[in-house]
Amino acid sequence: MLSLLTRQSKLIMYTLFLVSIHFHCNGQKTEAELEKFISKAPFFDSNKKDSLLIWAENIGQIPNIPRAEAYSLRLRGLHEEFEEKIPEATDYFLQFLSKTKSYGNSDDQMSAIGDLVYIYITTRQYEAAKALLTTFINKSNIEDLNQKKLSIFYNNLGICFNNLGKIDSAVIVYQKALAIKEKLQDEKGVANLRINMSKLLIKQDRFHEAYKLTKANLDFLDEAENKQDLWYNLLNMGGILNGLNRHLESEEYLLAALKEAEESGSADKQKESHYALALLYDETNRHKKAFQSLVKSDEFNAKIINQSTNTKIAELTESYNAKQRALENSLLSTELKTIKTRQIAYLTGILALILLSSFITWFYLKNRQKNKLIAAQNNSLIQLNTEKNTLMSIVTHDLSNPFSAIKIWAQRIALSENLTEVKTLSEEISQTAVNGLKSIKNILLIDKNEIKDIELTEVNLSGLLRTLIGQFQPMAAAKNIAIEVEVKQNREQILTDGEMLYRALENLLSNALKFSYEKSKILLTTFEENNMLYFEIEDFGQGIPKEEQHKLFNKYGQTSVKPTQKETSNGLGLFIVKRISEELGGTISLKSTDGKGSTFTLAIPLA
User: Of 47-51, 295-299, 332-336, 590-594, which has the strongest mean pLDDT?
Assistant: 590-594
User: Are residues 293 and 278 in contact, defined by beta-carbon separation less than 8 angstroms?
Assistant: yes
Q: Are strands 457-460 and 482-487 parallel, antiparallel or unpaired?
A: unpaired
Q: How large is the average pLDDT for residues 8-18?
A: 44
Q: How large is the average pLDDT for residues 439-450?
A: 48
Per-residue pLDDT at 205 exceeds 80: yes
Q: Which amino acid is residue 237, in one-letter code?
A: M
Helix, strand or coil, per DSSP, at residue 454: coil
Cα 183 from chain centre: 36
The reported pLDDT for the residue numbered 324 is 54
Q: How large is the average pLDDT for residues 378-387?
A: 55
With cut-offs at 50, 70 and 90, classify the pLDDT of residue 17: very low
Q: How large is the average pLDDT for residues 10-28?
A: 43
For the chain, how big is the Rg over CA atoms in Å? 32
Euclidean distance between CA atoms 132 and 160, whole angstroms: 11
> Within a 10 A sphere around the Cβ of 84, how many other Cβ atoms?
8
With cut-offs at 50, 70 and 90, classify the pLDDT of residue 28: very low
Q: How large is the average pLDDT for residues 442-453?
A: 49
Q: First and final CA of the chain: distance in angstroms?
A: 56
In DSSP terms, 538 is beta-bridged to 523, 599
Per-residue pLDDT at 49 exceeds 80: no
Euclidean distance between CA atoms 289 and 446, whole angstroms: 34
Q: Which amino acid is residue 20, in one-letter code?
A: S
With cut-offs at 50, 70 and 90, classify the pLDDT of residue 486: very high
More confident residue, 469 or 456: 469
Question: ∠ CA(579), CA(583), CA(584), 5° rounding?
Answer: 120
Q: Does the CA dihedral 555-560-561-562 come out positive or negative?
A: positive
Q: Mean pLDDT of all residues in the chain? A: 77
Q: Which amino acid is residue 34, in one-letter code?
A: L
Euclidean distance between CA atoms 45 and 507, whole angstroms: 46
The reported pLDDT for the residue numbered 536 is 96
Q: How large is the average pLDDT for residues 406-428?
A: 67
More confident residue, 307 or 72: 72
Q: Where are the beta strands (DSSP E) in 18-114?
A: none
Per-residue pLDDT at 574 exceeds 80: yes
In DSSP terms, 597 is beta-bridged to 593
The reported pLDDT for the residue numbered 14 is 43
Q: How far is CA 557 from CA 215, 446, 571, in A?
A: 57, 20, 5
- DSSP annotation of 357: H
Euclidean distance between CA atoms 386 and 60, whole angstroms: 50
Q: Which amino acid is residue 356, in one-letter code?
A: L
In DSSP terms, 484 is beta-bridged to 523
User: Are residues 479 and 408 in contact, defined by beta-carbon separation less than 8 angstroms?
Assistant: no
Closest CA to 129 of 96, 102, 100, 163: 163
Name which of 194-203, 547-556, 565-574 the model is least confident about: 565-574
User: Are residues 72 and 52 in contact, defined by beta-carbon separation less than 8 angstroms?
Assistant: no
b/e map 32-47, b = 16+ CB within 10 Å: ebbeebbeebbeeeee
- Phi/psi of residue 375, each to 5°? -65, -40
User: Of 367-371, 375-379, 485-489, 543-547, which has the strongest mean pLDDT?
Assistant: 485-489
pTM listed for this prediction:
0.44
The residues, any chain, with a CB within 8 Å of residue 59's CB and separated by 6 or more, are 23, 34, 37, 41, 68, 71, 72, 75
Helix, strand or coil, per DSSP, at residue 245: coil
The residues, any chain, with a CB within 8 Å of residue 19's CB and separated by 6 or more, are 54, 55, 58
Q: Which amino acid is residue 571, in one-letter code?
A: G
Closest CA to 43 of 82, 8, 7: 82
With cut-offs at 50, 70 and 90, classify the pLDDT of residue 449: very low
Per-residue pLDDT at 603 exceeds 70: yes
pLDDT tens for each residue of 101-145: 898 888 888 888 999 998 899 888 999 888 888 887 877 677 778
In DSSP terms, 526 is beta-bridged to 487, 535
Per-residue pLDDT at 330 exceeds 80: no
Per-residue pLDDT at 566 exceeds 80: no
Q: Helices marked H in 267-347 — which ranges?
A: 267-283, 287-347
More confident residue, 117 or 359: 117
DSSP for 466-518, please give it. HHHHHHHHHHHHHTT-EEEEEE-----EEEE-HHHHHHHHHHHHHHHHHTSPT
Q: How large is the average pLDDT for residues 497-504?
A: 91
Cα 139 from chain centre: 35
User: Where on the phi/psi map is residue 598: left (φ > 0), alpha (ψ -120 to 50), or beta?
Assistant: beta
Helix, strand or coil, per DSSP, at residue 69: helix
pLDDT tens for each residue of 261-317: 888 888 888 888 898 888 888 888 888 888 888 888 888 877 776 665 555 545 544
The reported pLDDT for the residue numbered 183 is 86
CB-side neighbour CA atoms (13 Å) of 298: 20
Euclidean distance between CA atoms 53 and 59, whole angstroms: 10
Name which of 33-37, 138-142, 390-394 the model is least confident about: 390-394
In DSSP terms, 483 is beta-bridged to 522
User: Are residues 173 and 153 in contact, defined by beta-carbon separation less than 8 angstroms?
Assistant: no
pLDDT tens for each residue of 233-250: 888 888 889 889 998 998
Q: How large is the average pLDDT for residues 251-255?
A: 90
- DSSP annotation of 41: S
More confident residue, 195 or 449: 195
Q: How far is CA 501 from CA 135, 427, 451, 471, 582, in A?
A: 35, 23, 12, 15, 11
Q: Does the CA dihedral 561-566-569-570 come out positive or negative?
A: positive
Per-residue pLDDT at 166 exceeds 50: yes
Euclidean distance between CA atoms 214 and 560, whole angstroms: 60
Cα 573 from chain centre: 22
The residues, any chain, with a CB within 8 Å of residue 196's CB and separated by 6 or more, are 155, 158, 174
Q: How large is the average pLDDT for residues 218-236?
A: 77
